Amino acid sequence: MRNGGRGRGGRISLAAERDVVVPLRGMTTISAGGSGTDGNPQVAGALAAERTTPSPACRADADRLRRFLAPDFHEFGASGAEVRYEGTAERVAAYTDPDGEPIRTEHMRGTRLADGLVMVKYTAYIGGRRSHHTSLWRRVGPGHRQMFHHQGTPTGPP
């Protein structure tokens, strides 16, 4: 690949980013750039759930968002504070405009850590700020997953 997979302006292209995802022994990794069906269905399911939660429609609807959060959900926020399940969906819904600008995600990929357990990683752009995110998703029933851990770490420009 010419110029090390970098697109115009020296930025790494999404295609180049997909090419560098390497699974660890015994783990299955799928990039969101792939079809999501040619790999592990557990990973594909977690990626689908993760893609739903940043949408303004989901975030503005506390009942809908709550269905994606496990009762033992916790999150480490940008300030370092730990947030628990209780009241999280209501707080997120209170400050989300359902017609607002969506959270843009890039380089989303998932790794099956164990049966029914998937780690999802991606970069998000929220209101002009960039951050790296990691979520842990647990299968709780056929076709249903819940997030029990999330962390977003602010980072500088690409």
Which has more pLDDT, 20 or 158?
158
pLDDT of residue 3: 38
Query: How far apart (Å, rounded) are the C-alpha atoms in residues 18 and 4?
Result: 13
Task: Please compute the mean of the pLDDT values over residues 75-89 and round it to a whole number.
Answer: 89
What is the identity of the amino acid at 130? R
pLDDT of residue 19: 29
Is 70 exceeded by the pLDDT of residue 35?
A: no
Residue 80 belongs to some domain of the structure? yes
pLDDT of residue 31: 52
Residue 18 belongs to some domain of the structure? no
Query: How far apart (Å, rounded) are the C-alpha atoms in residues 47 and 120?
Result: 7
Task: Please compute the mean of the pLDDT values over residues 4-26 and round it to a whole number.
Answer: 34
pLDDT of residue 81: 86
pTM tops 0.85: no
**Strands 104-114, 82-84: pairing kind:** unpaired
Residue 17 belongs to some domain of the structure? no
Residue 141 belongs to some domain of the structure? yes
Residue 114 belongs to some domain of the structure? yes
Residue 7 belongs to some domain of the structure? no
Q: Provide the number of structural domains found in the chain.
A: 1
Total number of residues shown for the chain? 158
What one-character-per-residue DSSP string does the chain give? -GGGGB-GGGPBPHHHHHHT--PPTT-EEEETTS-SSSS-HHHHHHHHHHHHTTSHHHHT-HHHHHHHEEEEEEEE-TTS-EEESTTHHHHHHHT--TTSPPPEEEEEEEEEEETTEEEEEEEEEETTEEEEEEEEEEEEETTEEEEEEEEEEEE---
Residue 8 belongs to some domain of the structure? no
Q: In what order do the strands lie in the sheet with 117-126?
A: 28-31, 104-114, 117-126, 129-141, 144-155, 69-76, 82-84
pLDDT interval class at 78 (50, 70, 90): confident
CATH of the domain at 149: 3.10.450.50
Domain span at 61:
28-155
Is 50 exceeded by the pLDDT of residue 23?
A: no
pLDDT of residue 98: 87
Residue 89 belongs to some domain of the structure? yes
pLDDT of residue 80: 83
Query: How far apart (Å, rounded) are the C-alpha atoms in residues 97 and 123?
Result: 21
pLDDT interval class at 82 (50, 70, 90): very high
